[in-house]
Amino acid sequence: MITEHNVRLTSAEIFYLWASYMNDTMAICIMKYFLEKVEDAEILPVIQYALTISENQVVKVKELFESEQAKVPHGFTDEDVNLKSRRLFSDSFSLHYLKHMARAGLKANGLDLALAARKDVQDFYNQALQATIELNNMTTSVLLSKGLYIRAPYIPVPEQIDFVKKQSFLANLFRENDRPLIAIEIASLYGNIQTNGFGKSLPIGFSQVASSPKIRRYMVRGVEIATKEIEVMHDYLLKSFLPTPMTWDGDIMNSTEAPFSDKLMMFHVSGLNAIGIGDFGDSIGTSLRADLSATYARFLAESVKYAEDGANMMIDNGWLEEPPQAIDREELARV
Question: pLDDT tens digit string along 109-128?
Answer: 999 999 999 999 999 999 99
Q: For 66-101, write each residue's pLDDT tens digit.
A: 999 999 999 999 999 999 999 999 999 999 999 999
| The pLDDT of residue 170 | 65
Q: How far apart are CA 132 and CA 110, in angstroms?
A: 10
If asked whether residues 231 and 182 sit together in one domain, one would say yes
Rounded to 5°, the CA angle 248-33-207 comes to 50
Mean pLDDT of 134-163: 89
- pTM value? 0.91
Q: Which residue has the higher pLDDT, 308 or 182?
A: 308
- Which region among 170-179, 216-225, 248-257, 271-280 has the lowest average model confidence (pLDDT)? 170-179
User: Pseudo-torsion of CA 36, 37, 39, 41, nearest 10°?
Assistant: -40
Q: Which residue segment(s) compose the domain that 255 sits in?
A: 170-316
**Dihedral angle over CA of 56, 61, 67, 71, nearest 10:** -130
The number of beta carbons lying within 10 Å of the beta carbon of residue 21 is 23
pLDDT of residue 4: 53
Summarize the confidence of residues 142-147 as an average pLDDT.
94
Spatial distance between the Cα atoms of 176 and 171, rounded to a whole number of angstroms: 7
Looking at the fold, whether 224 and 301 belong to one and the same domain comes out as yes
- Whether 6 is in a domain gets the answer no
User: Is residue 122 in some structural domain?
Assistant: yes
Say if residue 174 is in the same domain as residue 280: yes
Q: What is the mean pLDDT of the segment spanning 301-321? A: 96
Place 199 in a pLDDT band, splitting at 50, 70 and 90: confident
Cα 79 from chain centroid (whole Å)? 23
Q: CA-based Rg of the chain, rounded to a whole angstrom?
A: 22
CATH of the domain at 250: 1.20.1260.10
Q: Do 178 and 135 reside in the same domain of the chain?
A: no
Residues with Cβ within 8 Å of residue 197, at least 6 apart in sequence: 226, 230, 245, 246, 247, 248
Same domain, residue pair 194 and 251: yes
* 51-65, 144-158, 173-187, 198-212: least confidently modelled range: 173-187
Confidence of residue 209 (pLDDT cuts 50, 70, 90): very high
Per-residue model confidence as pLDDT tens digits over 166-196: 666 665 544 555 678 889 999 999 999 999 9
Identify whether residues 202 and 283 lie together within a single domain. yes
pLDDT on residue 2: 45
Confidence label for 1 from pLDDT (cuts 50, 70 and 90): very low
CB atoms closer than 10 angstroms to residue 280: 25
Shared-domain flag, residues 227 and 120: no
pLDDT in tens, 258-306: 999 999 999 999 999 999 999 999 999 988 888 899 999 999 999 999 9
My answer on whether 26 and 104 are in the same domain is yes
Task: Give the pLDDT score at 148.
Answer: 87
Give Cα separations from 217 to 25, 261, 266 (angstroms): 26, 16, 12
pLDDT at 151: 85
Task: Please compute the mean of the pLDDT values over residues 61-67 and round it to a whole number.
Answer: 95
Asked, for residue 3, whether it belongs to a domain, the answer is no
Same domain, 253 and 128: no
181 and 310 inside one domain: yes
Work out the pLDDT band at 218, boundaries 50, 70, 90. Answer: very high
Answer yes or no: are the C-beta atoms of 118 and 13 closer than 8 Å.
yes
Residue 331 lies in a domain: no
Count of domains forming the chain:
2
Task: Express each pLDDT in 24-51 by its tens digit.
Answer: 999 999 999 999 999 999 999 999 999 9
Q: What are phi and psi of 81, to 5 degrees?
A: -135, 140
pLDDT band at 332 (very low <50, low <70, confident <90, very high): confident
Q: Where are the alpha helices (H) located in the chain, listed in sequence order? A: 11-37, 44-67, 91-115, 119-145, 183-209, 213-239, 262-286, 290-316, 329-333
Closest CA relative to residue 63, chosen from 21, 8, 10, 115: 21
Percent of the chain having pLDDT more than 70? 94
